[in-house]
Amino acid sequence: MENSGNSNQYRFLIAGVLSLIVLFGWSYFFAPKKPTPDANTAANANTAASNANASTANAQQPVVAAPATPAPQPQAETAATTPDTTPNKLITIKTPLYEVKLDTKGAVATSWILLKNKSPKEERPLYADGSTASNEKPLQLISPEALKRAPQEVPFRLSTDDQAVNSIINDRNYTVSAEQDTIELADGQEKQIDFTLKDASGVDVTKSFTFHADNYIQDLKISLTKNGQIVPNTKLLIGASIGDHEIVHHSYYHPESEAIAHANETVYRHQGAYFTFDPQNQSTVAVPGNVDWAGVADGYFAMAAIPATQTQGLEYRASKYEFPTEPYHDGIISWITGTKKTSETRHLITAYVPVNADGTVTRIYTGTKDYFALRAYSNDLTNTVGRQIDLVDLINFSNYSWLRWLTKPLSIPILYALNFFNSVTHNYGIAIIFFTFLFYSLLFPLRWSQSKSFKKASGNAPKMKEIQDKIKDLQKKGVPADDPRMRSLQMEQLKMTKDALPIGGCLPMLLQFPLLIAFYTAVTVSLDIRQASFMWLPDLSAADPYHILEFAFAISMVLSMKFTPTTATVTPEQQMQQKMMTYFMPIMMLWVMWSAPSGLLLYWFFGNLVSFGQQMVINRMNKTNTPPTPEVVDSVPTNAKKVKAKLSTS
């Protein structure tokens, strides 16, 4: 199940096309363009640039205040019938992996900081985007904008069809079982914290959180009754917009938080820009089918709820707002002209996950999108829940289901390979270089065959042109195609093209094309590459801050294309096309790849260098041995061998 807008954008080109179409197709598909839904180009008139008070005053009313399907209110009791005398408290839970703050008002999470990534392959500290050795920013997953809203749009709120019940369970202070305000857990320890609330209207709600110190899974038991009856259609709210909120500005390569779920036996993704917003900048999208899990995630971090049993009625609600940013260039054109943007449209997305309100356990995953970690958690959850749970699908292998079948199986081996090389070299930049060299070495025999194929085609070019001219002359004279003379020339053409078909020479490029897509995917989803430095590059998952690699990549592409054999050019039009291919394509790719992850550019740049070196070796090995030509000299060289004159018989 995919966004409707995705089907109208980009068409993946099939294998077997010529190299020019492949390159154009790749650039067209991966061009870092923003999505163009009809309602997202209008900027929100109010920005948060003025001050915090103005931002709060202009904040939209929370979506949770309006039920998805208007229903009659059978009872009109409100929370005002019982005074809220329970004191408000903040409960802090500290573990080696994360630090959480729970507010007794609503029993919700107002802070969730990830401290460490723990997977079968590694353990390392985590910091927010833009962190340096001297300024390590905490990785806060809760949106600052969501905290400004009134009421706050934070995780673990509840929603029902009864607005009066919603007001009680989300706006009142709960009684908490924890005696201390701060709870510290060591590896292997766990702690259950109960939040309870009873109202005179008959509403009785309990949220029981169980935190495990050594993993990212939390257990949440929700019991919600009214007058002794379980409240139907209870939904747990996940979000809004869980992720790294220190990203200065989002792009195609650094997307903001999106809706993500496994429903109706398929993966559902919905980016903020694809929502259709009303005049109040609000939007709701219903997701049909049985829900295995649902949540919100950005490129590297996620929060998802896994109900005890499959449920129905999932929906996502979103709002958009204008966010002031530090001045930035949004592309090579603005970089050349010196124009900068100072704001961008952002979105708050909340998942309304239907859950069982009878006290059964809903698992909450709040952690990294590390492939190796998600694979381990998926196996554990499958055994615990009793149905297939694959959290690996939290990773955005592609927005397009018709392409995901290719990128996912190809990207996963690349993740393993890069992880292996990194374990040897202890640097992901060097690991990428090792991987690139190994892959291009495997392509060397094909490249050699390519060179021989094009060389043979070039040798046949003059004779081929002569045959083409003869065929044209016969056609002008009106000679039919089945004429023996015409057939003879056509058969001669076929013989000359034997073992010199250009498509055979394009095979190495066609093999590189899907790998390039998969490598792009691996670089953008690998948590290991995030904030991995190499030489002057502070983060291989981000663009080169000095744009050195972009220009180096374009220049290396010119060299690689200039020295790679191509089909013979026998007409001025063909020669012009080849020149455009050699020089225009690198310029176009420079524009396309301007803000691409430096890890991807490093792979492509070093691959071009390896290709250039291989081609020099191949050209030397395939050099034609031509006999020396006679040379006319004015005088006999001193080292010339004397030839004995023959006697004449005349």
Task: Round to the nearest angstrom and report the end-to-end CA distance of the chain.
Answer: 98
Of 498, 227, 252, 214, nearest to 398 (Cα)? 252
Quick check: 505 pLDDT over 70? Answer: no
Quick check: 554 pLDDT over 70? Answer: yes
| Residue 217 one-letter amino acid | I
Q: What is the pLDDT of residue 629?
A: 61
Quick check: 36 pLDDT over 60? Answer: no
Q: What is the pLDDT of residues 69-89, one digit of tens each?
A: 333 333 334 334 456 777 889
Q: What is the pLDDT of residues 526-537, one digit of tens each?
A: 999 999 999 999
Contact by Cβ (8 Å): 125, 115: yes
Quick check: 621 pLDDT over 80? Answer: no
Model-level pTM?
0.77
The pLDDT of 568-576, averaged and rounded, is 61
d(CA 392, CA 369): 8
Contact by Cβ (8 Å): 309, 356: yes
pLDDT-derived band at 553, boundaries 50, 70, 90: confident
Q: What is the pLDDT of residue 471?
A: 79
The pLDDT of 363-389, averaged and rounded, is 95
Q: What is the pLDDT of residue 625?
A: 55
Q: What is the pLDDT of residue 88?
A: 87
| Residue 100 bridge partners (DSSP) | 93, 112
- Which has more pLDDT, 617 or 59? 617
d(CA 431, CA 419): 8
Q: What is the pLDDT of residue 509?
A: 61
Of 318, 319, 298, nearest to 253 (Cα)? 298
Q: Is 22 helix (H, G, I), strand (E, B) or coil?
A: helix
Q: What is the pLDDT of residues 399-442, one digit of tens each?
A: 777 888 888 999 999 999 999 999 999 999 999 999 999 988 88
Q: What is the pLDDT of residue 49?
A: 34
The pLDDT of 321-340, averaged and rounded, is 86
Q: What is the pLDDT of residues 136-153, one digit of tens each?
A: 999 999 999 999 998 899
Quick check: 500 pLDDT over 90? Answer: no
Of 168, 163, 171, nearest to 198 (Cα)? 168
Task: Tell me which long-range contacts 380-384 makes (C-beta under 8 A, separation of at least 24).
Answer: 380/217, 381/217, 381/306
The pLDDT of 306-322, averaged and rounded, is 95
CA distances from 229 to 127, 354, 357, 643 (A): 45, 17, 10, 119
Structural element, H or E, at residue 372: helix 371-385
Q: Of the segments 371-385, 470-484, 500-514, 581-595, which one has the largest average pLDDT value?
A: 371-385
pLDDT-derived band at 567, boundaries 50, 70, 90: low
Q: What is the pLDDT of residues 357-367, one digit of tens each?
A: 999 999 999 99
d(CA 120, CA 423): 13
Quick check: 506 pLDDT over 70? Answer: no
Quick check: 172 pLDDT over 60? Answer: yes
Lowest mean pLDDT among 53-67, 108-122, 353-367, 440-454: 53-67
Whether the bond into 568 is cis, omega within 30 of 0: no
- Which has more pLDDT, 486 or 388? 388
Q: What is the pLDDT of residue 313?
A: 95
d(CA 644, CA 395): 84
The mean pLDDT of the chain is 80
Q: What is the pLDDT of residue 307?
A: 96
The pLDDT of 477-487, averaged and rounded, is 79
Sole residue written with tokens 């008070």: 53
- Which has more pLDDT, 64 or 229? 229
Q: Would you tell me how many other CB atoms lie within 10 Å of the CB of residue 167?
A: 17
Of 556, 466, 457, 437, nearest to 498 (Cα)? 457
- What domains lie within the chain, and their CATH numbers? 37-81+88-396 (2.70.98.90), 424-621 (no CATH)
d(CA 329, CA 47): 20
pLDDT-derived band at 614, boundaries 50, 70, 90: confident
Q: What is the pLDDT of residues 255-283, one digit of tens each?
A: 899 999 999 999 999 999 899 999 999 99
